């Protein structure tokens, strides 16, 4: 499952997903916030495809128009508002447990540095919390656990064919032009991968 397929599945699964849209030649982006633009493929590997992250509207539109020209008629370009993450993490769904890992700020802190502010392991018999218990508020933990349960039910076919599903998430805000948070943080999922 590649990034675009994951976007579709998250949307179909009723999870709060990145509000992505398909870029068309006549698309105009809202000024005053930053944008992320990605090239995408319907199927197959999508690693290292061109993308632009956190750019003003005019720059993002120019980049997207250029991608459309490069990719030709079969090309697909998606866009969504850039967001600033307050907390991020991964939900791992495996047959007998759910693991919620959380880190302050961007998911990059977890992916590259291996930092974990809080890890919660949920099984039928127990809930084990490691790290900074309370890093995730009770409301955030409840929301993440509820989304994990919904994902487990909705994606049980994928889970049956894989050893685990990974859902990447953030509590994030839209961004102003200086990459400062603008507005309240909301839970958003932006990746679903089967391994």
Neighbours of 32 (CB within 10 A): 11
Domain locations along the chain: 3-83, 84-194
Per-residue pLDDT of the chain (195 residues; tens, 9 = 90+): 656 677 778 888 889 999 989 999 999 999 999 999 998 766 655 566 789 999 999 999 999 999 999 887 767 899 999 999 999 999 999 999 999 999 999 887 777 777 789 999 999 999 999 999 999 999 999 999 999 999 999 999 888 898 999 999 999 998 899 999 988 999 999 888 888
Architecture of domain 84-194: 2-Layer Sandwich (3.30)
d(CA 172, CA 86): 6
Neighbours of 138 (CB within 10 A): 8
């Amino acid at each position: 499952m590649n990034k675009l397929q994951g976007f579709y599945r998250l949307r179909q699964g009723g999870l709060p997903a990145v509000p992505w849209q398909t870029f068309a030649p006549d698309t105009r982006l809202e000024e005053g916030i930053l944008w992320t633009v990605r090239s995408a493929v319907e199927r197959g590997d999508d690693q290292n495809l061109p993308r632009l992250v956190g750019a003003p509207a005019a720059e993002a539109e120019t980049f997207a128009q250029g991608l459309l020209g490069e990719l030709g008629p079969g090309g697909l370009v998606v866009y969504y508002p850039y967001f600033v993450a307050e907390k991020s993490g991964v939900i791992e769904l495996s047959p007998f447990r759910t693991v919620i890992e959380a880190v302050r700020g961007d998911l990059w802190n977890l992916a590259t540095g291996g930092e974990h502010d809080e890890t919660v392991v949920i099984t039928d018999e127990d809930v084990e919390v490691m790290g900074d218990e309370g890093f995730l508020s009770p409301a955030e933990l409840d929301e993440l656990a509820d989304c994990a349960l919904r994902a487990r039910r909705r994606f049980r076919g994928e889970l049956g064919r894989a050893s685990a599903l990974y859902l990447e998430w953030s509590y994030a805000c839209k961004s102003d032009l200086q990459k400062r948070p603008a507005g309240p943080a909301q839970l958003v999922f932006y990746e679903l991968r089967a391994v």
